[in-house]
């Protein structure tokens, strides 16, 4: 190794010594990592073992407590069953179960006896007797006798309709949603009925409801901490002391219910592992008993032990991690500093952003020996200096002189503009055939110059670059007089600006293409006036056709005329949006980009203008639609004045206004959200509701007076719209 190379090494040590040192350091690091992993694993295993033992013991005690509560529940349920059995076989209930009914005298006796039975126990809330033969429910409420479908208490109605053998002799939790006048109602119901030999229910049934407060308080006496929850198999809460605690039980119930492998007694940890749910499923009652509490309150000593263990593990991890980073830093810092210096110098010389191709090229160079990397940096430095000279010549900051750029090249010379992603991409594709090529960047495009023997050689090279780099190349005419450099550069830059109107498949564009463009602009003010008129008329297709007509002329223009037409179209759109007081010109809702000329794809310009045209035409179409709202108002006035006429309907109104019935219906629905016939029926029903409350006329007479020729249809329609019959509405009953 010579001395010139030796002075570029990062540190004067042999490769064998460096390798031995690194191996020893890696062995120390590996030993430290294994020790840390062993210590962490041991602490974690001890924590998990202690945790499992603690939770299992608590779960067993929870099961014992749940068994006692379950026994108390069964005792209470048995008492309620005996109470119902005595009541079920009493003379009063037997009378209500008769198929032939009972007399008025018997009714008075029955009501008195039912109320006496209700008042005899302080825990009962109501008694419901269901006669399955007559489908009648007798109760102690304000309505003595009603059909099953007319029972207001939906849980009671469902309980009597869908009787299940599993519900016999057990408390059924019931909930009724309240309204503006009544709050929510919660209670427990016990149902009793006889069975046929095939275990199917007999027609008659008895339901006794008890206050939820009494039932829960009786059972909660066995749980002073009030952290117990009792659920049925469907997950409905039967017993709880706190609403928030009840809500938090649902995720745990879902997990217990979905996991069939869960034992009947156990525990589930919360998501953050700071909460625990102890559960027990009773085989006798089928109820699920939950106890939800925090680990800190349940096992404070274990919680403290787990905190200490966690802190020890985290501390050891940080300690060994810091030692590992220190060893790595000590081992590789000198080499990294040298490579980083080379990378920074190379980046400055290249003068390109860190694209994927540039990063890939840099990665390939870093695999070379350090001496080769330094030689490449020196070579790039010389080339960068020549590229800066070329850049100054293109901008006419220094005289054009071929001798300043080339040592061996001879005329003619050829200039090209390339839309490549990175300068190094062009060098990799060009250096084999043209090692003397120079590339500089100007106006966001790369300009490269080289010497060519004849035009075909330049054209073939341009085609190769376009195919290899998948980009567009603008090729200048060959020239021998180097003073023509700036003139050719100006022509190629003009072609680059016109790239929007060039054929997308034309990847190689010759300088002679510029001669085909004319500077004369045939698009006049009249064209934009006509475009404005079509937009304000709301004619989207016609407006798009006019824009297409203007757009087709752009392909024959030079850049100045081409840019003038784009800006003029943009100004036309902006003026119309301002007339509409649209917020689509604000920064947040901008419909048009700030600079249309910066869009690099003509199809994107088309989409932008077409979107603006659609918004404008839609706004003007909405203004036109406003004119038809008066017609909808006229139809509504006719309905409100003449709904008493049985002959009044949508067709008769359309005939009167001399309009198509379907068109008039669409217009009316668009304005009010419903059909004309719905509006007529609503007016008639509202009038009939008033007459039912404030007059003594028969229901049939009222139906005809408000315009219904078919009384049966009136009944059906009244029930559909109000949820109750006309008779029920007249009597003032609540909607079911």
Q: List the single range of 8-12, 335-339, 363-367 with lowest mean pLDDT.
A: 8-12
Percent of the chain whose predicted confidence (pLDDT) is above 70? 74
3 pLDDT band (50/70/90 cuts)?
very low
More confident residue, 240 or 640: 640
End-of-domain residue from the set 583, 606, 624: 624
733 pLDDT band (50/70/90 cuts)?
low
Q: List the single range of 629-633, 683-687, 690-694 with lowest mean pLDDT.
A: 629-633
Q: Cβ-count burial of 259 within 10 angstroms (0-12 exposed, 13-18 middle, 19+ buried)?
A: exposed
| pLDDT tens digits for range 62-106 | 677 667 767 777 777 788 888 888 888 888 888 888 887 777 777
The DSSP letter of residue 477 is P
- Report the distance separating Cα 497 and Cα 443, nearest Å: 10
Query: Residue 713's domain is classified under what CATH number?
Result: 1.10.10.60
**263 occurs within a structural domain:** yes
Q: Cβ-count burial of 504 within 10 angstroms (0-12 exposed, 13-18 middle, 19+ buried)?
A: exposed
The verdict on 389 and 458 lying in the same domain is yes
The verdict on 116 and 95 lying in the same domain is yes
* Packing angle of the helix pair 661-672, 676-694 (nearest 10 deg): 60
Give the residue-averaged pLDDT of 209-215.
81
The verdict on 438 and 488 lying in the same domain is yes
- Report the distance separating Cα 521 and Cα 517, nearest Å: 11
**32 occurs within a structural domain:** yes
Range of the domain at 462: 365-509
Mean pLDDT across the chain, nearest whole number? 76
The verdict on 536 and 558 lying in the same domain is yes
Query: Residue 187's domain is classified under what CATH number?
Result: 3.30.450
Query: Residue 431's domain is classified under what CATH number?
Result: 3.30.70
End-of-domain residue from the set 319, 348, 373: 319
Q: List the single range of 208-217, 221-230, 339-348, 409-418 with lowest mean pLDDT.
A: 339-348
The verdict on 554 and 504 lying in the same domain is no
Predicted pLDDT at 339: 58
Predicted pLDDT at 587: 45
- Report the distance separating Cα 220 and Cα 69, nearest Å: 9
Paired with 448 in beta bridges are 416, 439
End-of-domain residue from the set 222, 252, 274: 222
Does residue 9 have a pLDDT over 50? no
Q: Residue 288: name the closest of 240, 231, 229, 245 by CA.
A: 231
More confident residue, 549 or 332: 549
The verdict on 714 and 634 lying in the same domain is yes
Q: Which residues contact 3 (CB under 8 A, 6 or more apart)?
A: none
Greatest mean pLDDT among 442-446, 540-544, 565-569: 540-544
Predicted pLDDT at 14: 44
**97 occurs within a structural domain:** yes
Does residue 447 have a pLDDT over 60? yes
**79 occurs within a structural domain:** no
Decide if 671 contacts 632 (C-beta within 8 A): yes
Query: Residue 54's domain is classified under what CATH number?
Result: 3.40.1840.10
Total domains present in the chain: 5
The verdict on 110 and 45 lying in the same domain is no
Decide if 415 contacts 439 (C-beta within 8 A): no
346-353 contacts: CB < 8 A, separation 24 or more?
346/376, 346/377, 346/380, 349/377, 349/380, 349/381, 349/383, 349/384, 350/380, 350/384, 350/423, 350/424, 351/384, 351/423, 351/441, 352/422, 352/423, 352/424, 353/422
Give the residue-averaged pLDDT of 384-405.
84
Greatest mean pLDDT among 447-456, 557-566, 582-591, 627-636: 447-456
The verdict on 620 and 633 lying in the same domain is no
Does residue 357 have a pLDDT over 60? no
Please identify which residue in the block is written with the tokens 């209670």: 187
The verdict on 539 and 605 lying in the same domain is yes
The verdict on 401 and 445 lying in the same domain is yes
More confident residue, 51 or 689: 689
Does residue 228 have a pLDDT over 80? no
366 pLDDT band (50/70/90 cuts)?
low
The verdict on 584 and 639 lying in the same domain is no
Give the residue-averaged pLDDT of 371-390.
70
Give the residue-averaged pLDDT of 454-476.
86
Q: Cβ-count burial of 118 within 10 angstroms (0-12 exposed, 13-18 middle, 19+ buried)?
A: middle
Predicted pLDDT at 550: 78
Phi, psi of 510 (to 5 degrees): -85, 150
Q: Which residues contact 531 (CB under 8 A, 6 or more apart)?
A: 543, 546, 547, 550, 569, 572
- Report the distance separating Cα 611 and Cα 617, nearest Å: 10
**18 occurs within a structural domain:** no
**358 occurs within a structural domain:** no
Q: Is this model's pTM higher than 0.95 or not?
A: no
The verdict on 252 and 310 lying in the same domain is yes
| pLDDT tens digits for range 264-305 | 777 787 777 678 888 888 776 667 888 887 777 767 776 677
| pLDDT tens digits for range 587-602 | 444 556 555 555 656 6
**205 occurs within a structural domain:** yes
- Per the omega criterion (within 30 degrees of 0), is the bond before 412 cis? yes
**561 occurs within a structural domain:** yes
């Amino acid at each position: 190794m010579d001395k010139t190379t030796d002075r570029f090494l990062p540190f004067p040590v042999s490769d064998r010594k460096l390798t031995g040192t690194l191996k020893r350091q890696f062995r120390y690091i590996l030993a430290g990592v294994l020790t840390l992993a062993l210590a962490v694993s041991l602490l974690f295993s001890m924590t998990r073992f202690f945790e499992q033992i603690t939770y299992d013991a608590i779960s067993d005690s929870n099961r014992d407590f749940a068994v006692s509560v379950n026994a108390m529940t069964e005792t209470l349920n048995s008492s309620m069953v005996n109470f119902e059995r005595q009541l079920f076989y009493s003379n009063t209930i037997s009378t209500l179960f008769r198929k032939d009914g009972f007399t008025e005298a018997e009714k008075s006796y029955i009501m008195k006896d039912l109320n006496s039975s209700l008042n005899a126990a302080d825990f009962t809330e109501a008694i419901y007797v269901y006669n399955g033969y007559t489908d009648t429910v007798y109760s102690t409420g304000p309505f003595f006798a009603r059909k099953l479908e007319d029972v207001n208490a939906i849980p009671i109605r469902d309980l009597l309709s869908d009787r299940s053998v599993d519900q016999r002799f057990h408390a059924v939790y019931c909930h009724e949603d309240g309204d503006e006048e009544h709050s929510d109602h919660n209670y427990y119901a016990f149902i009793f009925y006889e069975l046929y030999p095939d275990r199917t229910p007999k027609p008659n049934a008895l339901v006794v409801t008890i206050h939820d407060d009494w039932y829960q308080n009786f059972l909660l006496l066995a749980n002073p901490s009030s952290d117990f929850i009792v659920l049925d198999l469907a997950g409905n809460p039967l017993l709880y002391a706190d609403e928030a605690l009840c809500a938090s039980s649902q995720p745990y119930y879902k997990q217990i219910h979905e996991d069939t492998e869960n034992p009947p007694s156990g525990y589930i940890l919360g998501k953050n592992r700071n909460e625990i749910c102890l559960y027990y499923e009773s085989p006798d009652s089928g109820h699920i008993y939950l106890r939800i509490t925090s680990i800190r309150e349940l096992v404070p000593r274990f919680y403290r032990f787990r905190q200490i263990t966690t802190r020890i593990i985290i501390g050891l991890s940080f300690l060994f991690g810091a030692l590992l980073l220190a060893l790595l830093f000590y081992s590789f810092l000198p080499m990294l500093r040298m490579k980083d210096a080379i990378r920074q110098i190379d980046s400055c010389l290249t003068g390109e952003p860190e694209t994927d191709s540039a990063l890939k090229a840099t990665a390939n160079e870093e695999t070379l020996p350090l001496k080769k990397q330094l030689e490449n940096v020196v070579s790039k430095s010389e080339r960068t200096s020549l590229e800066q000279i070329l850049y100054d010549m293109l901008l006419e900051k220094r005289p054009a002189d071929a001798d300043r750029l080339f040592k061996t090249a001879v005329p003619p010379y050829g200039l090209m503009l390339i839309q490549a992603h990175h300068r190094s991409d062009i060098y990799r594709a060009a250096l084999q055939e043209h090692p003397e090529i120079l590339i500089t960047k100007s106006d966001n495009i790369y300009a490269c110059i080289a010497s060519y023997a004849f035009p075909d050689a330049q054209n073939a090279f341009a085609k190769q670059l376009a195919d290899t780099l998948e980009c567009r190349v603008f090729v200048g005419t060959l020239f021998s007089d180097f003073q023509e450099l700036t003139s050719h550069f100006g022509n190629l830059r003009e072609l680059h600006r016109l790239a929007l109107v060039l054929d997308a498949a034309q990847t190689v564009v010759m300088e002679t293409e510029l001669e085909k463009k004319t500077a004369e602009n045939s698009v006049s003010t009249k064209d934009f006036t006509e475009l404005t008129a079509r937009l304000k008329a709301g004619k989207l297709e016609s407006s798009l056709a006019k824009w297409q007509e203007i757009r087709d002329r752009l392909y024959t223009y030079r850049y100045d005329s081409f840019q003038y037409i784009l800006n003029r179209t943009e100004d036309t759109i902006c003026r119309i949006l301002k007339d509409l007081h649209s917020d689509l010109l604000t920064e947040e809702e901008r419909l048009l980009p700030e600079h249309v000329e910066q869009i690099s794809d003509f199809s994107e310009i088309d989409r932008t203008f077409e979107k603006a045209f659609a918004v404008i035409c839609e706004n003007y179409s909405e203004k036109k639609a406003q004119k038809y709202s008066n017609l909808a108002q006229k139809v509504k006035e006719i309905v409100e004045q003449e709904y008493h006429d049985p002959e009044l309907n949508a067709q008769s109104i359309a005939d009167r206004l001399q309009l198509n019935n379907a068109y008039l219906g669409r217009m009316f629905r668009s304005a009010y959200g419903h059909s004309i016939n719905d509006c007529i029926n609503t007016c008639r029903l509202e009038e009939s509701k008033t007459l039912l409350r404030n007059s003594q006329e028969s229901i049939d007479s009222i139906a005809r007076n408000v315009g219904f020729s078919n009384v049966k249809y009136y009944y059906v329609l009244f029930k559909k719209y109000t949820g109750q019959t006309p008779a029920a509405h007249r009597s003032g009953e609540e909607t079911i």
